[in-house]
RNA sequence: GGUCCGAUGGCCGAGUGGCUAGGCUCAGCUCUGCAAAAGCUGCUACAGCGGUUCGAAUCCGCUUCGGACCUCCA
């Protein structure tokens, strides 16, 4: 494809991407609720939109990427008097709610860094936008789509659906929803089970609460995303992303709120949903007890893991599947990713030392680069991109083996393409396996050259014992010796 | 119960009407003091049944199995 196409969840079509105000692009992604450590499934979603962000920038768009932090707890249960998650955690650990928020926000940021996921342009918090949320509720009430009961405000879905479509994104119909709504525990003040809260009254035991025209309380969960996306990206903007599990009710309610407050019929042009990471076919989730943290993954300290894996291995593993498909976690898949990534890294290294042919080249480096673009243009198809990169690997290794001829220009093009797609777009950075802190690179390199040289002498003398000992010891330190026709060389990893 | 989605070789995972996906694994070969790496070759699949078509993994129907959402969720 010669232009970027995106699968739009709203229309269920693959559509050509045309920003509202090129070269600017506005993108909003639902961030985490910071009441616990993020697990790997969460990471997958943020990785998905990291790729979108990176590729849009690669294409030259000026992207304003907004990803919120949900730091209001919301309710643990379905009842009107449920405790909020952050408040509950604060009580359990004897902390201020904001201490809980800060702790898990820090954790979230650390994890994002470890996986080389870029920071958004703006990272707004729900608590920082209480005023805007209250203003938004007033507008919705004024427009006739919300009502107040005992200090709480609810959105009237039925009233809204008389004037506007509701359920378009998730493909739900009001009548079906009616029949399938579960009976709530406790009585609800809602006039209709389909209604959702914009503002909840809080009693004195509730730790996080703010004054409002309706009394002390806190905002409903869906509202913050509507308000913050509108504030920073406008009443209509280009891309809204999030996990598949947020499609309903969260995103559906967001649309209703935006339309209800601002009257804009289609606030978001392209809706994108990342699919779930599964374990043994089931969604990774805290409640399932099958989730593990990035730290457990890296150390391998978890019953589901045979060993630890590096962050880049995990990143590569996730990118080997398309974001819109479920991806099943398994040790074998991780191991395959580990080896595949090592092969890729090794080829990049080989590429940098490759001697160009003096004659004609027989590899079309330009076509290779275009193929990489085509893969990403087709709805960010990272598995195809990776498969294409391996075609480049084959050419590089073929050149090293003397089977493929690459001109200096070909090599330069290959280097630029690997830099652009492997490093910049896929965000796969080289992981140093050397024991850091042991002097500078060139010094170590000179020593290794000397050792390899000594081993070559030993080999020439058929002193296999010495030669093998050098190889084994270096290997134990992560240095691999390669013997070729024209002598030996070393590499890390 | 309702809505939606999926089922691809030993494993993971693309593809969506005709053309090699790719990675990993396994076997053989080349290279090599041995090994590793690399290269070459092989194993070559589309849940089942029926239909549409010159032609289907790809479209339609049914069956079986699995999953997501309908409640907080990335």
Do A284 and A215 lie in a common domain? Answer: no
Q: What is the nearest nucleotide to A336, using C1' and CA? A: B24
CATH code of the domain containing A364: 1.10.730
The predicted pLDDT at position A102 comes to 96
Written as six digits, the tokens of A18 are: 């045309």
Whole-number distance in Å between A428 CA and B38 C1' = 23
Written as six digits, the tokens of A184 are: 């709530």
- Give the residue among A194, A150, A147 at the shortest CA–CA distance from A175: A194
Q: What is the nearest nucleotide to A179, using C1' and CA? A: B2
The predicted pLDDT at position A186 comes to 46
Cα separation of A293 and A41, whole Å?
9
Per-residue pLDDT reduced to its tens digit, A37-55? 999 999 999 999 999 999 9
Asked whether the beta carbons of A200 and A217 are under 8 A apart, the reply is: yes
Do A449 and A401 lie in a common domain? Answer: no
Residue A485: pLDDT over 80: no
Report the protein residue whose CA lies nearest the C1' of nucleotide B13. A321
Asked whether the beta carbons of A6 and A14 are under 8 A apart, the reply is: yes
Last residue of a domain, one of A252, A274, A296: A274
Do A270 and A328 lie in a common domain? Answer: no
Whole-number distance in Å between A350 CA and B30 C1' = 21
Structural domain boundaries enclosing A463: 441-492
Mean pLDDT of the A448-473 span: 88
Written as six digits, the tokens of A1 are: 């494809």
Last residue of a domain, one of A212, A245, A274: A274
pLDDT tier for residue A181 given thresholds of 50, 70 and 90: low
- Who contacts A293 (Cβ-Cβ below 8 Å, separation ≥6)? A37, A38, A39, A40
Per-residue pLDDT reduced to its tens digit, A139-156? 999 999 999 999 999 999
Do A151 and A223 lie in a common domain? Answer: yes
Q: What is the nearest nucleotide to A287, using C1' and CA? A: B73
Last residue of a domain, one of A247, A274, A301: A274
Residue A444: pLDDT over 70: yes
Per-residue pLDDT reduced to its tens digit, A110-145? 999 999 999 999 999 999 999 999 999 999 999 999
Do A367 and A473 lie in a common domain? Answer: no
- Give the residue among A483, A481, A484 at the shortest CA–CA distance from A492: A481
Written as six digits, the tokens of A131 are: 């005023």
Do A228 and A362 lie in a common domain? Answer: no
Do A156 and A203 lie in a common domain? Answer: yes
Do A265 and A283 lie in a common domain? Answer: no
Cα separation of A296 and A303, whole Å?
10
Count of domains for chain A: 3
Q: What is the nearest nucleotide to A387, using C1' and CA? A: B22
Asked whether the beta carbons of A155 and A144 are under 8 A apart, the reply is: no
> Cα angle vertex A277, ends A324, A258, to 5°?
55
Asked whether the beta carbons of A172 and A252 are under 8 A apart, the reply is: yes
Report the protein residue whose CA lies nearest the C1' of nucleotide B23. A340
- Asked whether residue A392 is domain-assigned, the answer is yes
DSSP state of A210: B
ipTM of the complex as predicted: 0.95
- Asked whether residue A430 is domain-assigned, the answer is no
Give the DSSP H or E segment for A270.
Answer: strand A268-274
Q: Supply φ then ψ for residue A8, to 5 degrees.
A: -95, 115
Report the protein residue whose CA lies nearest the C1' of nucleotide B21. A387
Chain B, protein-covered positions (CB within 7 A): 1-4, 11-15, 21-25, 31-40, 66-74
Residue A174: pLDDT over 60: yes
């Amino acid at each position: 494809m010669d232009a970027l196409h995106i699968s739009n969840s709203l229309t269920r079509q693959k559509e050509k991407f045309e920003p509202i105000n090129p070269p600017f692009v506005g993108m909003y992604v639902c961030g985490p609720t910071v009441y616990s450590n993020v697990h790997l499934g969460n990471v997958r979603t943020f990785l998905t939109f990291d790729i979108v962000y990176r590729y849009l920038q690669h294409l030259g768009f000026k992207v304003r990427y907004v990803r919120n932090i949900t730091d209001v707890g919301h309710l643990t249960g379905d009842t009107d008097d449920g405790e909020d998650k952050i408040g509950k955690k604060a009580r359990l650990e004897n902390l201020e709610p904001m201490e809980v928020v800060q702790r898990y926000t820090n954790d979230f940021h650390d994890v994002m860094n470890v996986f080389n996921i870029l920071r958004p342009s703006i990272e707004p918090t729900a608590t920082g936008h209480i005023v805007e949320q209250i203003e938004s509720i007033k507008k919705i009430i004024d427009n006739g789509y919300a009502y107040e009961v005992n200090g709480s405000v609810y959105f009237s879905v039925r009233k809204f659906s008389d004037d506007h479509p509701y359920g378009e994104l998730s493909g739900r119909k009001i009548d079906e929803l009616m029949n399938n709504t579960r009976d709530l525990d406790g009585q609800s003040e809602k006039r209709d089970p389909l209604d959702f809260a914009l503002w909840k009254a809080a009693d004195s035991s509730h730790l996080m609460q703010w004054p409002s025209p309706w009394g002390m309380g806190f905002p409903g969960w869906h509202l913050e995303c509507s308000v913050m996306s509108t504030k920073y990206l406008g009443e209509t903007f280009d891309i809204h992303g999030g996990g598949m599990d947020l499609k309903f009710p969260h995103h559906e309610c967001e649309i209703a709120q935006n339309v209800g407050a601002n009257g804009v019929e289609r606030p978001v042009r392209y809706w994108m949903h990342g699919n779930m990471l599964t374990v043994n076919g089931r969604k990774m989730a805290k409640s399932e007890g099958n989730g593990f943290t990035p730290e457990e993954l890296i150390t391998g300290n978890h019953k589901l893991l045979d060993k630890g894996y590096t962050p880049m291995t995990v990143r590569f593993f996730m990118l080997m599947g398309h974001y819109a498909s479920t991806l099943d976690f398994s040790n074998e898949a991780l191991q395959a990713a580990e080896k595949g990534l090592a092969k890729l890294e090794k080829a990049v290294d080989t590429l940098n030392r490759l001697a160009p042919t003096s004659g004609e080249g027989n590899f079309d480096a330009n076509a290779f680069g275009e193929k990489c673009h085509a893969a990403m243009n087709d709805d960010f198809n990272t598995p195809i991109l990776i498969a294409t990169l391996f075609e480049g690997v084959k050419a590089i290794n073929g050149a090293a083996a003397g089977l493929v001829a690459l001109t200096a220009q070909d090599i330069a093009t290959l280097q630029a393409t690997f830099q652009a797609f492997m490093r910049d777009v896929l965000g796969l950075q080289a992981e140093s396996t050397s024991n850091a802190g042991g002097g500078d690179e060139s010094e170590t390199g000179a020593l290794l050259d000397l050792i390899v040289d000594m081993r070559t002498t030993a080999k020439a003398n058929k002193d296999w014992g010495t030669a093998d000992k050098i190889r084994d010891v270096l290997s134990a330190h992560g240095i691999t010796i390669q013997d070729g026709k024209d002598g030996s060389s070393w590499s890390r990893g």
